[in-house]
Amino acid sequence: MHIHILGICGTFMGGLALIARSAGHTVTGCDAGVYPPMSTQLEEQGIELIEGFGAEQTRLSPDLYIVGNVVTRGNPLMEAILDQGLPYTSGPQWLGENILHKQHVLAVAGTHGKTSTSSMLGWILEQAQLSPNFLIGGVAPGLGVSARFNPEQSLFVIEADEYDTAFFDKRSKFVHYRPRTAILNNLEYDHADIFPDLHAIQTQFHHLVRTIPSSGLILRPTHTPSLDETLARGCWTPVEQFGPDGDWDSKAISATSFDVMFKGQSQGIVQWTLTGEHNRLNALAAIAAAHHVGVKPEQACAALSQFAGIKRRMEVRGVVNDITVYDDFAHHPTAIATTLAGLRSQTGKATRILAVLEPRSNTMKLGAMAARLPGSLEDADLVFCYGETQGKHALGWDAAKVLAPLGDRATAWNDLDKMVQAIVQASQPGDAIVVMSNGSFGGIHQRLLDQLSR
């Protein structure tokens, strides 16, 4: 079958393209701004990429068009597909109907930690010689790629996103995934551009829960009222809890090591370079999910002790004059707070933390979480917040006013060059500069390193 993918360079759709190719299909695709690293991965697999969404691409005459959720009405190629009555479907629906229905799916859902937990789980299964298939939103160094599929293997780890499926299917992507093992990592309000409130997101999670078989397993954190409410609407699957007072718990030994407990009994120690309670909870969820498919906890702990983390999760981009520049994907107040708290627990009060923030996600641009920003930045000694005043990434709120409770510790900027200069001037040997954004942030990491070198 010849499949043509619209929006192929996104992480999910690019990964889907690799999976479809591995499943024996001929795959082509298009996107606005065909760009690496995904374009490189695809071209190496012999997948032809076309720049733009021109209507003339219907001349390729594929058997099916797979439509990414970046595609909207008015897109020239989509309009031509609709006018000509050509066959199309969404990426999640195609994946569920053609790949996942034959697999034991281990789905990782939740507002935060999906990529990290999925990568940990995939790494554990890989180290246990189970050779899992996977589709993850980031690249763990040990796994090498973000997607892999071998029809001979039966386990499939997937990052289960609650974002909508396509312009013609407003259900969450994960409703299509048919999980047998499901991690519901946490549940908060997010994606303010498509969900009016938390209850609307809970409804989508309820729909996911309704698809999990009674022979499966749901893993969820303790002390999470939003998940309590969701599961109270109906649950037909056994549930295990992880975190304080849960079936799976941890006992901290140091900032970077902890003892894993299952029903009060020690199962093994994880010693790694990652920090923060959020990473310990992600690890517990991954260990518990691996246990459900036969991996002993002590094996999982040994595997995670060799886990090197994933790109853009407290990734060290460079050290200049004893000043460390980190890159982190945090863009929601909860994620910002846990990222900074994790670093503070590792460094103590002796290290100054300079938080550099770009509120770039749709939720943050709309201001739905703006009031929570000052509290999420309490562990930072200095805060630099960048927001465009025009264009698609412009903020709809006054950053200086929102951050006023932090006093002189926080400054707001709309000129990236001037902000970089200010960060460099404020920096001292021993500082940690934590750059947080879900975008490229204008290449600020390298710009800081270059100017610090000078």
Q: Determine the pLDDT at residue 192.
A: 61
Closest CA to 112 of 185, 36, 46: 185
- Judged by DSSP in three states, 270 sits in strand
* Per-residue pLDDT reduced to its tens digit, 245-297: 999 999 988 878 899 999 999 999 999 888 778 889 999 999 999 999 999 99
> What average pLDDT does this structure show over 80-90?
98
Q: What is the pLDDT, as a whole number, of residue 362?
A: 64
pLDDT category of residue 101 using cuts at 50, 70 and 90: very high
pLDDT on residue 254: 84
Model pLDDT for residues 347-386, shown as the tens digit of each residue: 778 889 999 988 877 666 666 667 788 888 888 889 998 8
pLDDT of residue 416: 87
So what's the pLDDT on residue 37?
A: 67
Distance of CA 283 to the CA centre of its chain: 15
- What does the pLDDT read at residue 290? 98
pLDDT tens across 296-341, in order? 999 999 999 988 766 666 778 888 888 889 888 776 777 788 788 8
% residues pLDDT > 90 (the chain): 52
Whole-prediction pTM: 0.75
Helix (H, G, I), strand (E, B) or coil at 257: strand
In terms of Cα–Cα distance, which of 391, 379, 398 is closest to 436? 379
pLDDT, averaged across the chain: 88
By DSSP bridging, strand 353-357 and strand 169-172 are unpaired
| Sequence-separated (6 or more) residues with CB below 8 Å from residue 296 | none
Instruction: Please enumerate, as own/partner, the contacts of 41-44 that have beta carbons within 8 Å and a separation of 24 or more.
Output: 41/14, 41/145, 41/146, 42/8, 42/9, 42/14, 42/17, 42/18
Phi/psi at 340 (5° precision)? -70, -40
> DSSP characters for 364-418?
HHTTTTGGGHHHHTTT-SEEEEE-BSSSTTB-SS-HHHHTGGGGGGEEEES-HHH
pLDDT of residue 312: 66
Q: Is residue 392 scored above 70 in pLDDT?
A: no
The two structure tokens encoding residue 56: 């003339």
**Four-point Cα dihedral 16, 18, 22, 26, nearest 10:** 90
Q: How far apart are CA 318 and CA 441, in angstroms?
A: 16
Give the per-residue pLDDT at 344: 84
Q: What is the pLDDT of residue 31?
A: 93
Looking at residue 40, its pLDDT comes to 76
Average pLDDT over residues 232-256: 93
Can you give the pLDDT at residue 78? 97
Percent of the chain clearing pLDDT 70 (strictly above): 93
At 316, list the tokens: 């060290």
CA Rg value for the chain: 22
Question: Does residue 156 or residue 390 have the better pLDDT?
Answer: 156
In the structure encoding, which two tokens stand for residue 182, read together? 């499901």
Q: Residue 10 pLDDT > 90, yes or no?
A: no
User: Considering only CA atoms, which of 384, 357, 369 is closest in space to residue 333?
Assistant: 369
Picking from 189, 239, 233, the residue whose alpha carbon sits closest to that of residue 212 is 239
Cβ(209)–Cβ(234) under 8 Å?
Answer: yes
Retrieve residue 332's tokens: 């929601």
Tell me: pLDDT of 117 over 70: yes
pLDDT of residue 303: 94
Condensed to tens digits (0 to 9), the pLDDT of residues 422-449 reads: 999 889 898 989 998 877 777 888 888 8
Task: Answer yes or no: is pLDDT of 104 > 90.
Answer: yes
Q: Does 115 score more than 80 pLDDT? A: yes
pLDDT band for position 97 (50/70/90)? very high
